[in-house]
């Protein structure tokens, strides 16, 4: 009997333990699933062409890197890497490719600048090749510096602004032999190089990027072993990451201390690749996703915002350091974003996690990741924690047959536009890349270029899918108040349907002063403003050559009629179903109320937003002057 009771107690205890473990597992999964939802948008109901707008003075650009496009880089770490083979005599580069002449941008840069102009961009981000400028330690090649000066001058003469990256994965062989960024003392070599380039080109270049993608440099060179130096050492990886971030901080402060430094914008380029669980019900998938996000994204964000760095991978690396000089050690943060990775955890100490594609669910690019524009929005939200202006320094797609490029551009740029509308401070966008190039370990296999390059004759041809970017660049931009029109513009013509059945074309009102008020029944500020428009504009000037028209945004006629009765106005109201009239003056997601004053020649002469009494009085004064001039 006692034995039976003991056995029952053991079974009961085991069941309790299992229940506790299950509950813990369930709580862990529920917490992470609710805290980090898998974000997807309903693309069937999103009109990217209509819902994508960008601010005036938004920086549109393209980006390249020296080793990938210039050609004849034979003195850097990547040149050595391309000519090394694995133990089985297999090339480290796909298809045994060599960068070689690459896109011959060194010689063809003038031609390529014309291609940029055809795109409509105003900025060009490129990197300077350290190994050409300082081929031997302490020996400066001024011919190379002069080449970059000519490039900058040509850009400026062509109406483009140069943006320089000082380190984009490559450095001289002599620096690599010293241990490169594995050794903290080598940072001084990079500072001296940066100062040399800055002093030579600062008068021409307003925007500077110190280091491109420290996390990619570390993960590919010290975890995966597919970039030079080809090591797989997590602890060393942590030290390299530490040195790269500290190198940025030191270069930033040093360049800022130079004579032209205060006037220049200097930042770091940070890539974000989200690591999401492949199986949202699996604890290990969540656990390793979180650790990877912490190491490759959150650690840098915390470092740049708080001066605290932690590089922690259980059983592999645990590096902590504090550098308070890192806080606000940038004038902007560059964000490179392409996609995310799905993490699958394993109960295997030698292979704790792997990455898998979801080919049945996602649209795949030629690279081993999917199209995921929602992640672009997530990345902007994450990087905004640094509290610095954001420039998208890279974003693009490898798409050899050009079947998804237009979709990629439209959806990713929609995500970018949405982030700006939601208040994130994004100042510019640089598409990766201008033309097909040597794509590092992938060789010439991956076609990221807006322009296709025939590497047999260096001919560049605009891809059909690239035209979506041109269309967005040339689309009217909006100001801080949401207007896509400006004072001095000719007013767009409208065919207005009044609620009393009349139809009027705006162009038929030439010779009169016209005031358009965009309004809506749900807008409390509109309701506040409309009696003032009735009394101080309509009743005062309707017999003196002025027409005032209220245009109700996207409401049915019965609602608009009731609205007019409610506010007690007598000036005509017109319908605007689908906000088609509104979107000719402001971006579709901008708000009402707003007034547009148009002179007798059809020119816009005054714009208001909301009901500010001082601005309203300025509008009255403007109307009065227009009436008197008649």
**Would you list the domain boundaries of the chain?**
43-474, 495-629
β-strands 503-505, 390-394 pairing: unpaired
Q: Is the pLDDT of residue 349 over 90?
A: no
Which CATH number is associated with domain 495-629?
3.40.30.10
The pLDDT of residue 86? 76
Q: How confident is the model at residue 193 (pLDDT cuts 50, 70, 90)?
A: very high
DSSP state of 369: S
Please give the average per-residue pLDDT across 149-160, as a whole number: 98
Lowest mean pLDDT among 27-36, 142-151, 236-245: 27-36
Distances (CA, A) of 412 to 123, 394, 395, 495: 19, 12, 9, 34
Q: Is the pLDDT of residue 21 over 80?
A: no
Sequence length of the chain is 630
Query: Residues near 289 by Cβ (< 8 Å), separated by ≥ 6?
Result: 275, 276, 277, 343
Q: Is the pLDDT of residue 12 over 80?
A: no
Q: How confident is the model at residue 18 (pLDDT cuts 50, 70, 90)?
A: low
Q: What is the pTM of this model?
A: 0.89
Q: How confident is the model at residue 2 (pLDDT cuts 50, 70, 90)?
A: very low
Please give the average per-residue pLDDT across 156-161, as a whole number: 98
β-strands 207-212, 161-167 pairing: parallel
Q: Position of tokens 């390529």?
A: 112
Share of the chain above pLDDT 90, in %: 87
Q: Is the pLDDT of residue 522 over 50?
A: yes
The pLDDT of residue 215? 97
Q: Maximum CA pair distance of the chain?
A: 112
Q: Is the pLDDT of residue 10 over 90?
A: no
Q: How confident is the model at residue 29 (pLDDT cuts 50, 70, 90)?
A: confident
Encoded tokens for 252: 């930033």
Q: Is the pLDDT of residue 4 over 60?
A: no
Please give the average per-residue pLDDT across 251-273, as a whole number: 97
**Mean pLDDT, rounded, of the chain:** 94
Please give the average per-residue pLDDT across 244-257, as a whole number: 98
Pick the CATH number of 43-474 from 3.40.50.720, 1.10.3720.10, 3.40.50.300, 3.20.20.80: 3.20.20.80
The pLDDT of residue 27? 85
Cα separation, 551 vs 573, in Å, equals: 6
Cβ atoms 605, 530 nearer than 8 A = no
Q: Is the pLDDT of residue 453 over 60?
A: yes
The pLDDT of residue 89? 79
Q: Is the pLDDT of residue 88 over 70?
A: yes
Q: Is the pLDDT of residue 316 over 90?
A: no
Q: How confident is the model at residue 20 (pLDDT cuts 50, 70, 90)?
A: low
The pLDDT of residue 3? 47
Cα separation, 387 vs 425, in Å, equals: 9
Query: Residues near 428 by Cβ (< 8 Å), separated by ≥ 6?
Result: 58, 59, 60, 61, 123, 391, 392
* 433 cis-preceded (ω within 30 degrees of 0): yes
């Amino acid at each position: 009997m006692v034995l039976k009771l003991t056995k029952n107690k053991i079974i009961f205890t085991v069941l309790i333990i299992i229940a506790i473990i299950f509950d813990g597992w369930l709580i862990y999964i529920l917490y992470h699933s609710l805290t980090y939802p898998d974000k997807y948008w309903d693309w069937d109901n999103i009109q990217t062409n209509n819902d994508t707008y960008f601010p005036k003075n938004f920086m549109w650009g393209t980006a390249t890197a020296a080793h990938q496009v210039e050609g004849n880089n034979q003195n850097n770490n990547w040149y050595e890497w391309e000519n090394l083979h694995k133990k089985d005599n297999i090339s480290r580069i796909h298809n045994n490719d060599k960068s070689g002449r690459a896109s011959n941008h060194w010689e063809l840069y003038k031609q390529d600048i014309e291609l940029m102009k055809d795109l409509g961009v105003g900025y060009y981000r490129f990197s300077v090749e350290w190994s050409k400028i300082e081929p031997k330690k302490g020996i400066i090649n001024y011919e190379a510096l002069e080449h970059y000066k000519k490039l900058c001058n040509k850009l400026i003469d062509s109406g483009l602004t140069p943006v320089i990256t000082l380190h984009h994965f490559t450095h001289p062989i002599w620096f690599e032999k010293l241990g490169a960024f594995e050794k903290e003392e080598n940072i001084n070599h990079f500072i001296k190089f940066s100062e040399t380039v800055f002093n030579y080109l600062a008068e021409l270049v307003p925007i500077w990027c110190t280091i491109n993608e420290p996390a990619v440099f570390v993960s590919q060179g010290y975890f995966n072993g597919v970039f030079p130096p080809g090591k797989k050492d997590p602890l060393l990886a942590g030290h390299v990451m530490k040195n790269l971030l500290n190198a940025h901080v030191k270069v930033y402060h040093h360049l800022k201390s130079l004579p032209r430094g205060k006037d220049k914008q200097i930042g770091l380029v940070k890539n974000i690749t989200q690591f999401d669980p492949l199986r949202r019900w699996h604890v290990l998938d969540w656990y390793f996703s979180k650790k990877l996000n912490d190491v490759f994204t959150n650690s840098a964000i915390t470092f740049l915002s708080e001066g605290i760095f932690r590089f922690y991978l259980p059983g592999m690396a645990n590096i902590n350091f504090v550098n308070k000089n890192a806080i606000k050690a940038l004038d902007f943060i560059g964000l490179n974003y392409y996609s995310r990775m799905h993490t699958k955890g394993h109960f295997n100490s030698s292979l704790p996690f792997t990455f898998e594609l979801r080919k049945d669910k996602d649209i795949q690019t030629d690279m081993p990741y999917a199209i995921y524009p929602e992640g672009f929005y997530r990345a902007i939200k994450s990087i905004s924690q640094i509290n610095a202006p954001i420039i998208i320094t890279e974003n693009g797609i490898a798409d050899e047959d050009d079947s998804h490029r237009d979709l990629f551009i439209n959806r990713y740029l929609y995500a970018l536009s949405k982030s700006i509308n939601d208040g994130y401070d994004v100042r510019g966008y640089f598409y990766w890349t201008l033309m097909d190039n040597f794509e590092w370990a992938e060789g010439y296999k991956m076609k990221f270029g807006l322009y296709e390059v025939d590497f047999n004759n260096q001919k560049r041809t605009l891809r059909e899918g690239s035209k979506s970017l041109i269309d967005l660049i040339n689309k009217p931009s909006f100001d801080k108040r949401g207007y896509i029109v400006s004072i001095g513009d000719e007013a767009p013509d409208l065919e207005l349907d009044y609620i009393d059945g009349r139809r009027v074309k705006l162009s038929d009102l030439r010779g009169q002063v016209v005031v358009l008020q965009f309004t809506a029944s749900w807008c409390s500020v509109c309701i506040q403003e409309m009696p003032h428009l009735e009394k101080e504009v309509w009743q005062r000037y309707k017999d003196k050559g002025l027409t005032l028209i209220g245009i109700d945004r996207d409401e049915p006629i019965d609602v608009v009629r009731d609205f007019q009765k409610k506010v007690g106005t007598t000036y005509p109201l017109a319908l605007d179903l689908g906000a088609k009239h509104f979107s000719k003056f402001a971006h579709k997601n901008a708000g009402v109320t707003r007034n547009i004053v148009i002179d007798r020649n059809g020119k816009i002469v005054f714009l208001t937003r909301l009901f500010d009494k001082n601005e309203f009085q300025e509008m009255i004064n403007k109307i009065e002057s227009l009436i008197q001039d008649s």
